[in-house]
Structure 1
C-alpha cells in the first residue's frame, strides 16, 4: 500500500507557528525592487490547475534529482491530469498523484531510491538565515533546508556537508510505503509545518503560489467521494507561449530578502524558524 507520511506521529510540533510581534517591533516593509526578484527555470516550475484554483510549484533538482526528474516525466506524460486528492489531513498535508486514486496505486516505472538528504558545498545557492548548535538553516531557492554547518566540510572527503529539506507549509514531499526506497508517483503538499518528517520523506519542491488552494481542499483519511482534483498539470516550459504565465520569486541573495530575515528574527526572537519566512512570488 502506498502511504503518505504517517499521520499518527506523536506530536505536531509548533514549529514556525505564527505569533504576534511585540507592539512597534515590525515597521512597514518596502516592496521588493526589480533587482530583488529572480525568474525560476521554466522546466522547474509546475502549474497545477485544480478544482479549487491554481497552484504553482518550484522543483529543486539539487536536493533530489531523481525525484524531480520523475515528477517532470510523469507530468509530461499526463499521468497527473485528473488525479484526485484522496487523503487530506487538516494541519498536516494533502496527498495525490496515485494513478488509481486510491492510495494503493503506482505507475509501472521502477520505484525511486530515497533522497532524504543531499550534499552541498560553497557553490550551492543556500541562503543561511540561522545557525543553531552547529547547523545552518535557510533556503535553497524556495525550499527550506537544514544543513550541517559549512565548516564541517573541512573534515569530509568530498569537502561537502549533508543537508535536507525541512517540512514547512507548501513543501512538496514524495509519499512512499514502509520501505525507504518505495516512492513511485504519489506526492503530498504540506498544509502546516511538520519537521518530524525531515530525513524520512524526500522533499523536492515548494509551493510558490496557491497555498490557500491547498488549504481549501476537502479533508478526509481517506476523503469520502473525493472531488477535489488536479485537472491539468504542466511544466511552465511546456505551456504555449500565448497562455504561459510569468512567474518570479524573491531572490534569497537579494537585499530585500536579507532585510526580511532580519525583520522576522527581530519580531520572533527565540521562536524564529525558517518556516516564518514568507518568500514573495508573483504569477501573472
Structure 2
C-alpha cells in the first residue's frame, strides 16, 4: 500500500522543514484525474519518457480518457485504465510508441540517495529511479546518468502488449512495489496526491462495478482556481535528505527507494 501525505501529516512529520524545502508542481507536467473515488494528481516526468508523457497529455487534451473504466485492478499490484474499449488491448487513433524503458539525463537533473557497488538509486522529482553504478558510468564517454524508472508504490507506467513497442494509451498506477517491472514498461511519473483514491478503487479483472476516470486534464489547462494547490517536498532540499537518512537508519541494509513516500502539502 502507498500513501501520499496531506498538510497535517506533512506538518507533523516535518516540523523543521523550511519553505525552501518545498516546491510547486509544474502545471504543464501535472495530470489531474477526477475519479469516482476522488481526485488523483500525477507529476509527469518527461525526463524519463518524453514521448510517453507527450502522448498522455495529448490524449487528456483530446478527452480520450474521460469516462474510461479502471478495467483491471489487482490488490497489491496495479490499477489499469486508459483503453478506449475498457479492456486490455485497446488503443487510441494514434500510432504505438517506441519503448522508453531507460533514459539518459544530465547528472544534475537527478538526486542520488543510494550509492552501491553495482547501482545507484534516487529521484527525479517524486519519481524514483535506479541507475548504473558510478564505476560503470565512468567507463563510458557519455557523462549523462544512465538509468530507468523504479516501479515503487504510486509510480505510473504505460501498458503495452507483448511487443515492447506497443504502448499507446493505457496507463497503470502501482498499488504496491513491483520492481520486476523495471526495464519492461515505460515510467511516466508518480502519484503525488490521491493515493487513498487509488487504493479505494473497486478490485477485479474487470471489477463487477468498475470505477471511472470521470475527467482527466493537464493542470495548465484548468482555471487557476481549479488547479491542485500542492507543494511537494523537494528531493534536492535538506528536509528530504534528512528524511531519507532517517529511513536508512531505521531500515538498515533493507532500505529501498520504495520506502520513501511522497510528501505533499496544500499551499
Query: Contact conserved, 1:209 with 1:282, CA < 8 A, in 2?
Result: no
Runs of 5+ unmatched residues, structure 1: 1-15, 18-27
For residue 134 of structure 1, report the CA deviation from its aligned partner: 2.5
Q: Which residue of 1 aligns with 2:154?
A: 170
Q: Which residue of 2 aligns with 1:266?
A: 249
For residue 40 of structure 1, report the CA deviation from its aligned partner: 2.1
240-249 or 72-81, larger mean C-alpha shift: 240-249
Structure 1 residues 236 and 258: alpha-carbon distance in aligned structure 2, compared to 1, 3 A threshold: same
Q: TM-score, normalised by structure 2?
A: 0.92
For residue 247 of structure 1, report the CA deviation from its aligned partner: 2.1
2:206, 2:177 → 1: CA distance? 21
2:195, 2:51 → 1: CA distance? 25
Q: 2:212 matched to 1:245?
A: no
Q: TM-score, normalised by structure 1?
A: 0.86
1:133, 1:222 → 2: CA distance? 43
Query: Contact conserved, 1:116 with 1:199, CA < 8 A, in 2?
Result: yes
Structure 1 residues 40 and 230: alpha-carbon distance in aligned structure 2, compared to 1, 3 A threshold: same
Q: Which has the higher helix share?
A: 2
> Which of 78, 81, 87 does residue 96 from structure 1 map onto?
81
Q: Which residue of 1 aligns with 2:54?
A: 69
Query: Contact conserved, 2:232 with 2:265, CA < 8 A, in 1?
Result: yes
Q: 2:86 matched to 1:107?
A: no
Deviations, residues 179-224 of structure 1 (Å, cap 9, x unaligned): 0000100010000000000000111100000111101101112222
Q: 2:34 matched to 1:37?
A: no
> Which of 64, 80, 83 does residue 65 from structure 2 map onto?
80
1:152, 1:120 → 2: CA distance? 16
1:121, 1:237 → 2: CA distance? 26
> Which of 166, 172, 191 does residue 207 from structure 1 map onto?
191
Q: 2:113 matched to 1:118?
A: no
Q: Which residue of 2 aligns with 1:57?
A: 42
For residue 283 of structure 1, report the CA deviation from its aligned partner: 4.2
Q: Which residue of 2 aligns with 1:145?
A: 129
Query: How many pairs were matched up?
Result: 258
1:278, 1:219 → 2: CA distance? 23
Runs of 5+ unmatched residues, structure 2: 3-12
1:249, 1:217 → 2: CA distance? 24
Q: Which residue of 2 aligns with 1:188?
A: 172
Query: Contact conserved, 1:119 with 1:163, CA < 8 A, in 2?
Result: yes
